[in-house]
Structure 1
């Protein structure tokens, strides 16, 4: 029981949360690539098709919802605060 108390201190919870989020993001990306990437073929029937020129499917995969959302946004984390301190009035 003494070794469990060594690892489950409240100071370690943020570390567990950060590692859990990182593992979740990696798992999500792996599932996304296996399930929706047009160049990844898991089943034998799909692999037998060879190289396909399916540009529409590739465009749909690369231009996903998140990329479409941030396409016309400024690359800033807090643009209102940045504009407040940087733009002269």
Structure 2
């Protein structure tokens, strides 16, 4: 009986049509995991250790700015909010 259930499971889920679903779900779980780890390890408002929680509210603006101005934000800072700048300007800007 167990082998019949295992056979139907593999026939249903181990097919080429299902792999994009696995990849999309895996990507979403990976992004959520990265953000969770980033918040736990780097966010100045999250305190995991009991000694740090006892400190209460800290007014540490430098640490907060370092956390919020991460590498990706520095990379996109000052750029136009467009995905394909050259195509957009070619199609929208008159000569």
Q: 1:80 aligns with which of 77, 86, 95?
A: 86
Q: Which runs of no fewer than 5 residues in structure 2 stay unpaired?
A: 1-6
After the TM superposition, list the runs of 4 or more consecutive aligned residues in structure 1 that deviate by more than 4 angstroms.
Answer: none
Counterpart in 2 of 1:27? 33
CA RMSD of aligned residues (A): 1.0
Q: Which runs of no fewer than 5 residues in structure 1 stay unpaired?
A: none
Q: Say yes or no: does 1:69 pair with 2:81.
A: no
TM-score by length of 1: 0.92
Tell me the number of residue pairs that the alignment of Structure 1 and Structure 2 aligns.
Answer: 89
Q: Say yes or no: does 1:17 pair with 2:17.
A: no
Bigger relative CO (Cα 8 Å, ≥ 6 apart)? 1
TM-score by length of 2: 0.87
